Amino acid sequence: MQLRTVDLIRKKRDGGELSAEELRFLIEGYCRGDIPDYQMAAWAMAVYFRGMSPAETADLTLIMAESGDRMDLGAIGGIKVDKHSTGGVGDKTTIALAPLVAAAGVPVAKMSGRGLGHTGGTIDKLESIPGFRVEMAADRFIDQVNQHGIAVISQSGNITPADKKLYSLRDVTATVNSIPLIASSVMSKKIASGADGIVLDVKMGGGAFMKTWEEAAQLAQAMVDIGLRVGRETVALITGMDEPLGYAVGNALEVREAIDLLKGDGPADLKELCLALGAQMLVLGGRASTAEQARTALEELIASGKALKKLKEFIAAQGANPTIVDRPELLPRARRQIAVKAQASGYVTRIAAEEIGLAAMRLGAGRATKDSGIDLSVGVILRKKIGDAVAEGDLLAELHAGEAGAERLEPIQRQVREAFEIGADAVMPPRLIHALVDRKGIHRL
Amino acid sequence: MQLRTVDLIRKKRDGGELSAEELRFLIEGYCRGDIPDYQMAAWAMAVYFRGMSPAETADLTLIMAESGDRMDLGAIGGIKVDKHSTGGVGDKTTIALAPLVAAAGVPVAKMSGRGLGHTGGTIDKLESIPGFRVEMAADRFIDQVNQHGIAVISQSGNITPADKKLYSLRDVTATVNSIPLIASSVMSKKIASGADGIVLDVKMGGGAFMKTWEEAAQLAQAMVDIGLRVGRETVALITGMDEPLGYAVGNALEVREAIDLLKGDGPADLKELCLALGAQMLVLGGRASTAEQARTALEELIASGKALKKLKEFIAAQGANPTIVDRPELLPRARRQIAVKAQASGYVTRIAAEEIGLAAMRLGAGRATKDSGIDLSVGVILRKKIGDAVAEGDLLAELHAGEAGAERLEPIQRQVREAFEIGADAVMPPRLIHALVDRKGIHRL
For residue B15, CA distances in Å to B11, B49, B50, B180 come to 6, 9, 6, 14
A81-327+433-444 classified as CATH 3.40.1030.10? yes
Amino acid B338 reads: I
A252-264 pLDDT per residue, tens: 999 999 999 999 9
pLDDT at A1 (0 to 100): 64
Label residues B106-131 b or e (16+ Cβ within 10 Å = b): bbbbbbbebbbebbbbbbbbbbbbee
The candidate with the shortest Cα–Cα distance to B108, out of B83, B127, B87, is B83
Asked if residues A88 and A119 have their Cβ atoms less than 8 Å apart, the reply is yes
| pLDDT class of B118 with cuts at 50, 70, 90 | confident
Strands A433-438 and A233-240 come out as antiparallel
What residues of B are in contact with residue A42 (Cβ under 8 Å)? 41-42, 44-45, 173-175
3-class secondary structure, B69: strand
pLDDT at A120 (0 to 100): 77
The candidate with the shortest Cα–Cα distance to B2, out of B38, B36, B34, is B34
B76-105 pLDDT per residue, tens: 999 999 999 998 899 999 999 999 999 999
Rounded to the nearest angstrom, the minimum Cα separation between A41 and chain B is: 5
Longest dimension (CA), chain A: 74
pLDDT at B1 (0 to 100): 64
What residues of B are in contact with residue A48 (Cβ under 8 Å)? 13
pLDDT at B253 (0 to 100): 97
User: Is B139 a known active-site residue?
Assistant: no
Name the residue ranges covered by the structural domains of chain B: 5-51, 81-327+433-444, 333-423
Question: Residues of A with catalytic annotation?
Answer: 84, 163, 170, 185, 189
ipTM score assigned to the predicted complex: 0.88
Rounded to the nearest angstrom, the minimum Cα separation between A12 and chain B is: 10
Q: Tell me the average pLDDT across A285-297.
A: 97
CA separation for the pair B190, B342 (Å, rounded): 43
B288-335 pLDDT per residue, tens: 999 999 999 999 999 999 999 999 999 999 999 999 999 999 999 999
Q: What predicted TM-score, i.e. pTM, was given to this entire model?
A: 0.90
Q: Tell me the average pLDDT across B236-246.
A: 96
Architecture of domain B333-423: Alpha-Beta Complex (3.90)
CATH number of A5-51, picked from 1.10.10.10, 3.30.499.10, 1.20.970.10, 3.20.20.70 = 1.20.970.10
Q: How many CB atoms lie within 10 A of CB A214?
A: 11
Pairwise CB contact (< 8 Å): A45 & B45 = yes
Taking the C-alpha atoms of B317, B329, B103 and B379 in order, what is their torsion angle to the nearest 10 degrees? -100
> Is the fold of A81-327+433-444 the same as that of A333-423?
no
The candidate with the shortest Cα–Cα distance to B254, out of B419, B413, B95, is B95
Find, in chain B, the residue whose alpha carbon is nearest to that of A40. B38
Q: Give strand pairing partners of B204.
A: B210, B240
CA separation for the pair A246, A287 (Å, rounded): 28
Size of interface A-B (CB pairs under 8 A): 74
| pLDDT class of A116 with cuts at 50, 70, 90 | confident
Q: Tell me the average pLDDT across B218-222.
A: 97
